[in-house]
Amino acid sequence: MPITTAEIKGLARECGFELAGIASAGPSSDFDRFSNWREKGFAAEMGYLTDRRGDLRADPRNLLPSAQSIVCVGKLYNTSHPHTADLNDTKRGWISRYAWGEDYHEVLRQSLEMLVSRIAETHTEPFDWKICVDTAPLLERSCARAAGLGWIGKNTCLINQQQGSWFFLGELLLSIPLLPDAPPPDRCGTCTRCIDACPTSAIVPDGAGGWTLDSRACISYLTIEKRGDIDKEFTEKISSHVFGCDICQDVCPWNSRAPMTADNRFEPLWFAPPLADLAELTEGDFRHKFKRSPVRRAKHSGFMRNTAIAIKNSELCR
Ligand code: B12
Ligand code: SF4
Ligand code: SF4
C-alpha cells in the first residue's frame, strides 16, 4: 500500500519528533535569498557555503535525483536550565543551549533511520531515501518553512507558534510522492526584541524589507566556526560565551513558554563550566570531555581562544 502524508507524520511523532511536515522536492524558491546573502559577504569564511557545495542548495534533487518529497522534522532540545541572562556569574563559561547535551547530528540521524524502517513496513513498494541533518547542502529552514513547521523570524530562526525555536531540524528525502503542507504566516509582527538585544548588531536589513544575519559579526559564528584570531571590536561583546550564542532566542517572546524536551540526551553534560577549569584543558582533555558533544566543532584551539577571551572579560581579571 502507498503510504500517506498523515501516516508519515504519525510515524515521525512515534520516532520522537515533536514536529513533522512535508515539502515538495523541487527547485528552492529561496535560493536567490541565499545567493544574495553570500554575495554580500554574510557567509564570512564558511567555505562550504561559498564554494560549489553552496550551489547544490538550489535543488534538493542534487542530493537524491529521484526525490519527490521531503519529510521535514523538528526535535526539541530545550531543558529547564536557566537562560544566559540569568547566569549572573562571569567566572563561568556559557555554552549555548543546543550544545549542552549529546551531538544532535547523531541523535536525529538515528531517529530518522528508525523512521525509514517504519515507512518501509507500510509502503511496500521499493523507494529511494536520503537523510540530512545540518551538514548536507540543503536550505533546511526554507524546507521546514515550506513543510509548515514554522516561520522565519527576524532572528533568522525557524519559529513554531506552539514550540518556539529551541528545536533542531532534520530531513528525509523520499522518492515517494506525498501531499505537501503549506507555510504558516509570519508572526513576528512589529516586535524587534532580537534585533535590539544582539550585542554585536549582527541582525541586519536584507535590502528587501526583511532581516538577515551577518555571520561576520555573530558570536555564534565567531566562537564556533571562525578559525584564528577574533577581531578586537568583538572581544568584549563576546562576554562569557565560550561556544555559540542564544541571546536572540532567549529574548524571543515565542520562547517564553517553550516546552521542554522529553529526551534526556539533551541534558547538559557540563553545565556552565568554571572558566578556571576550562583554562586547564589540554587537547586530550578537550577531546575526552566533549567526545559526544557538538562543542568538538570549535576544536581545542578555538575553544581555548574563546576561553581566554571570556576570562579577560570576567571578574577573574578585575
Ligand atoms: C551556516 C549556519 C549557521 C551560521 C549562519 C546562520 C544563519 N542565520 O545563516 C552560524 C554559525 C552563525 C549559525 C548559528 C546558529 N545556528 Co546554524 N546553521 C547553519 C546552516 C549549516 C546553514 C544555514 C544557511 O544556509 N544560512 C544562509 C542563510 C541565508 O540561510 P537561512 O538563515 O537558513 O535563511 C534561508 C531561509 O530561512 C529563507 N528565508 C530567510 N528569511 C526569509 C523570509 C521569508 C519571508 C521567506 C519566505 C524565506 C526566508 O531563505 C534563506 C535562504 O535560503 C544550517 C543547517 C542547514 N543545512 O541549513 C544550521 C541551522 C540553521 N543552525 C541552527 C542553529 C540551532 C543555530 C544556532 C541557534 C546555534 C547557536 N546557539 O549558536 C545559531 C543561531 C543564530 C541565528 N540567529 O541564526 C539550526 C536552526 C534551527 C531553527 N529552529 O531555526 C540549523 C537549521 C541546524 C539544524 N539542522 O538544526 N548557523
Ligand atoms: S546568535 Fe547572538 S550574536 Fe548571533 S545574531 Fe543572535 S544574538 Fe546576535
Ligand atoms: S524576538 Fe520578536 S522579532 Fe525577533 S524573532 Fe522573536 S518575535 Fe520575531
User: In the beta sheet, which residues pair with residue 212?
Assistant: 204
Looking at 162-290, which runs of residues are DSSP E strands? 167-174, 203-205, 211-213, 241-243
261 Cβ closer than 6 Å to some ligand 2 atom: no
Instruction: Tell me, yes or no, if 30 is annotated catalytic.
Output: no
Beta strand segments in the chain, E: 19-24, 69-76, 94-95, 129-132, 151-152, 158-159, 167-174, 203-205, 211-213, 241-243
236 C-alpha to center of ligand 3: Å?
25
Residues 160, 309, single domain; the answer is no
| Average pLDDT of span 98-126 | 97
Residue-wise pLDDT tens digits, 131-166 = 999 999 999 999 999 999 999 999 999 999 999 999
Nearest CA to ligand 1 atom 77: 155
Which atom of ligand 1 is the closest one to the Cα of 206? 41
273 to 81, 240, 311: CA distances (angstroms): 14, 11, 12
Domain membership flag for residue 88: no
Same domain for 146 and 275? no
Residue 15: exposed, middle, or buried by beta-carbon count in 10 A (0-12, 13-18, 19+)? buried
Do 138 and 253 lie in one domain? The reply is no
User: What percentage of the chain reaches a pLDDT higher than 90?
Assistant: 94
**Quick one: pLDDT at residue 218?**
99
Cα distances from 21 to residues 12, 275, 289, in angstroms, run: 9, 42, 36
Q: Indicate whether 170 and 236 sit together in one domain.
A: no
Q: Which amino acid is at 192?
A: T
Considering the candidates 30, 55, 59, 134, report the single residue annotated as catalytic.
Answer: 134
**Predicted local distance difference test score (pLDDT) of residue 291:** 95
CA 6 remoteness from chain centre: 26
Q: Tell me, what amino acid is at 136? A: A
Taking only the tens place, the pLDDT of each residue in 7-45 is 999 999 999 999 999 999 999 999 999 999 999 999 999
Give the residue from 174, 201, 224 where a domain finishes: 174
Position 83 scores a pLDDT of 78
Does 299 map to a domain? yes
Residue pair 59/138 in contact by the 8 Å Cβ criterion? no
In this structure, the answer to whether residues 105 and 145 fall within a common structural domain is yes
Closest atom of ligand 1 to CA, residue 135: 57
311 found inside a domain: yes
The 10s digit of each residue's pLDDT in 179-207 is: 999 999 999 999 999 999 999 999 999 99
State whether 154 and 277 are in the same domain.
no
SS3 145: helix
Lining residues, ligand 3, CB within 6 Å:
153-155, 188, 191-194, 251-254
Res 316 pLDDT > 90 = no
Residue 301 in any domain: the answer is yes
CA 1 – CA 238 distance, rounded (Å) = 55
In a domain, 188, yes or no: no
Q: d(Cα 101, Cα 290) in Å, to the nearest integer? A: 10
Interatomic CA distance for residues 119 and 135, integer angstroms? 24
Q: Of the ligands numbered here, which is closest to the C-alpha atom of 46?
A: 1
Q: Whose CA is nearest to atom 4 of ligand 3?
A: 194
Kindly state whether residues 167 and 243 are assigned to the same domain: no
What is 68-81 written as a DSSP string? Answer: -EEEEEEEE---SS
Q: Is 204 helix (H, G, I), strand (E, B) or coil?
A: strand
Under DSSP, the state recorded for 205 is E
Taking the CA of residue 244 as reference, the ligand 2 atom at the shortest distance is 1
Average pLDDT of the chain is 96
Probe target for ligand 1 pocket from 48, 97, 140, with the most ligand atoms within 8 Å of CB: 140
Residues 305 and 203 in one domain: yes
pLDDT for the residue 30:
97
d(CA 174, CA 68): 6
Residue 315 has pLDDT above 90, yes or no: no
Instruction: Assess whether pLDDT exceeds 90 at residue 1.
Output: no
In a domain, 138, yes or no: yes
Please check whether residue 115 lies inside any domain of the structure: yes
> DSSP letter at 274?
B
Q: Nearest ligand to the C-alpha of residue 151? A: 1
Q: Which residues pair with 158 in a beta bridge?
A: 152
Cα–Cα distances in angstroms (integers) from residue 25 to residues 112, 177, 212, in the given order? 18, 9, 25
Reported confidence tier of residue 86, pLDDT bands at 50, 70, 90: confident
How high is the pLDDT of residue 82? 84
- What atom in ligand 1 is closest to the CA of residue 246? 71
If one counts the domains in the chain, the total is: 2
Residues 231 and 148 in one domain: no
Residue nearest to atom 24 of ligand 1 (CA): 139
The verdict on the CB of residue 298 being under 6 Å from ligand 2 is no
User: Is the same domain home to 46 and 117?
Assistant: yes
Q: What percent of the chain has pLDDT over 70?
A: 100
**252 and 308 assigned to the same domain:** yes
Residue 225's domain spans which residues? 193-258+268-317
Grid look-up 538515528 returns: 110
Q: What is the dihedral of CA 276, 277, 280, 286, to 10 degrees?
A: -140
* Ligand that lies nearest to the alpha carbon of residue 238, given by its number in the listed order: 2
Give the pLDDT mean for 305-309.
98
Q: Are 135 and 89 in contact (CB under 8 A)?
A: no
Of 174, 206, 233, which one is at a domain's C-terminal end?
Answer: 174
Asked whether 43 and 50 are in contact (CB, 8 A), the reply is yes
Mind listing the pLDDT tens digit for each residue in 54-84? 999 999 999 999 999 999 999 999 999 987 7
